[in-house]
Structure formats: C-alpha cells, structure tokens
C-alpha cells in the first residue's frame, strides 16, 4: 500500500528542483505509460486507480492500486488520467553525429518542445541537441506532448554555441531557420548536418548566427503580415521538406 511519504515524494516531482535532486520523473496517461514500458528506461513504480484498471484492463507486475484522491495528489493534470509511472532519469547519452539532427536554441514552451521531439521522430531524426536554457525535457507537459517519442529519442543538453562551432569547424552543414535565406521548397539537395531552430520569441540568437552555414527560410504569402511561425510548426515544415528530398 502506498504511503503518505511516497505520495509526497511523487508530488515533489512536479518541480524541476526535486526531479534533479531525486533523479526521477513522472509519466502519466495510458498511451504514454504503455510506450514507456516498452522502452529501455527504468520504471521504478506504476500506480493506477481501481476504476482505471477496470475500464482499461491494464496489468503490470509493478502496478499498485491507489485511491482517486491519492492520484489527484500525485498527478500534474487538472483531470488525472488515472495512471502514472515513476521513472529514473537516464544518464545523458553522447551526442551522435549521424544523419540529420536538430539543434534547439532556447525553446522555452513545453508544448513546443514536446511537439518538436514527436515531429522529429516522425521524420526519422533521432538526435536532438538543446541549449542549456531550453525547457527541461522531463517536464510533465513536455512528456505529455511527445506521446512516447521522448523514450526513443536521444535528446542532449549542452553548450550549443560550442557544439555548433565544433561542428562547423569539422565541415558539417549547419542550417538555420531564419526569416531570410534559401527557400526550403526550392532547395534541391540537403547535406546531412544540423538544423537550428530558434526560440519562440527571439529566434536564433546573435551568438549562434555566425555559426550558420546554410540560412534557410519558409516563405510566407505576399499578403501575410504574420511575423513568424510557431517553433514546432516551423520544425515540421522544414523536416517535411528535407524528408521529401530523401527518396
């Protein structure tokens, strides 16, 4: 039977401070938990309400039944989905220079981060490098938005400027999503390299701009007065253009 101390410990994982301190994070919802249990990540516990188990026929050897009140206390959502898992934060993998990869510069919105990760997996990108001030990938809203993709991706936080400088020095193509650059729809060829996506409010920062070797842009309609695209939407359009040239 779950104790009050365990409930409080799981409650604390809603905050970045305690996720880092305890080395744990929480995954909620049936689909996300199912995706998690099929991954290589270490799941330390699974909790579900009796109603959830009856409605979904969910079974797992680690499963422990909790009350509706306990689930509400542990959940990060206004309407708890009825199941959550506690997971050990994995050690950060090495940065893999293979195929096309993404570099995220200051992405702060959890929903955007999660959608970018999910979109990257859809198009076959397996490696994502994040600047150190990007939103934490173990944030509950990020995890929810990835719909399980996070558990299969290599997402690394690092000194982005240093990483891109080293990549450029090695001759890697560094694409930058900018308001001015080569039209991605008229682009005949993409080299394997890195696509840099800037933050929602500031775009690619000034210290990163000199490291861009291939400025690219998504053209907007002539009568459009919209200043910019959502970061995750822009990522999807760019990756779709890139993927279309692979076949």
Q: What is the CA radius of gyration of the chain?
A: 20
Q: In what order do the strands lie in the sheet with 63-66?
A: 24-28, 83-88, 43-49, 63-66
Residue-wise pLDDT tens digits, 64-84: 999 999 999 999 999 999 999
Where in the chain is CATH 3.30.1330.30? Answer: 4-88
Q: CA–CA separation, 86 vs 53, rounded Å?
A: 18
Residue-wise pLDDT tens digits, 92-106: 878 877 889 999 999
Please report, for residues 17, 105, 155, 157, the alpha-carbon distance to residue 164 in angstroms, rounded to integers and kept in the order given.
28, 11, 16, 13
Q: How confident is the model at residue 245 (pLDDT cuts 50, 70, 90)?
A: confident
Any idea which fold 4-88 has?
Answer: 60s Ribosomal Protein L30; Chain: A; (3.30.1330)
pLDDT at residue number 215: 98
User: First CA to last CA across the chain, in angstroms?
Assistant: 54
- Mapped onto helix, strand or coil, the DSSP state of residue 103 is strand
This prediction's pTM: 0.93
Q: How confident is the model at residue 247 (pLDDT cuts 50, 70, 90)?
A: low
Where in the chain is CATH 3.40.1280.10? Answer: 101-244
Identify the CATH assignment for 101-244 out of 3.10.20.30, 3.20.20.60, 3.90.950.10, 3.40.1280.10: 3.40.1280.10
Q: How confident is the model at residue 125 (pLDDT cuts 50, 70, 90)?
A: very high
Q: What are phi and psi of 234, to 5 degrees?
A: -60, -40
């Amino acid at each position: 039977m779950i104790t009050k101390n365990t409930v409080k410990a799981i409650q604390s994982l809603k905050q970045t401070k305690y996720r880092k301190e305890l080395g744990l994070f929480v995954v909620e919802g049936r689909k996300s938990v199912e995706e998690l249990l099929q991954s290589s990540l270490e799941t330390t516990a699974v909790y579900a309400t009796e109603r959830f188990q009856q409605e979904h026929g969910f079974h797992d050897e680690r499963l422990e039944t909790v009350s509706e009140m306990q689930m509400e206390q542990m959940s990060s959502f206004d309407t708890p989905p009825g199941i959550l898992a506690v997971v050990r934060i994995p050690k950060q993998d090495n940065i893999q220079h293979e195929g096309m990869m993404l570099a995220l510069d200051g992405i702060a919105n959890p929903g955007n981060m999660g959608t970018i990760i999910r979109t990257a997996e859809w198009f076959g990108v397996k490696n994502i490098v994040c600047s150190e001030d990007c939103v934490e990938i173990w944030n509950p809203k990020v995890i929810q938005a990835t719909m399980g993709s996070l558990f299969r991706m290599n997402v690394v936080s690092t000194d982005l400027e240093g990483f891109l400088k080293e990549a450029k020095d090695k001759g890697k193509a560094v694409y930058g999503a900018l308001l001015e650059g080569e039209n991605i729809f008229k682009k005949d060829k993409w080299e394997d390299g890195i696509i840099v996506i800037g933050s929602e409010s500031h775009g690619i920062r000034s210290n990163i701009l000199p490291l861009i070797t291939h400025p690219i842009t998504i053209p907007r309609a002539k009568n459009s007065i919209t200043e910019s695209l959502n970061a995750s939407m822009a990522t999807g359009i760019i990756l779709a253009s890139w993927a279309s040239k692979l076949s």
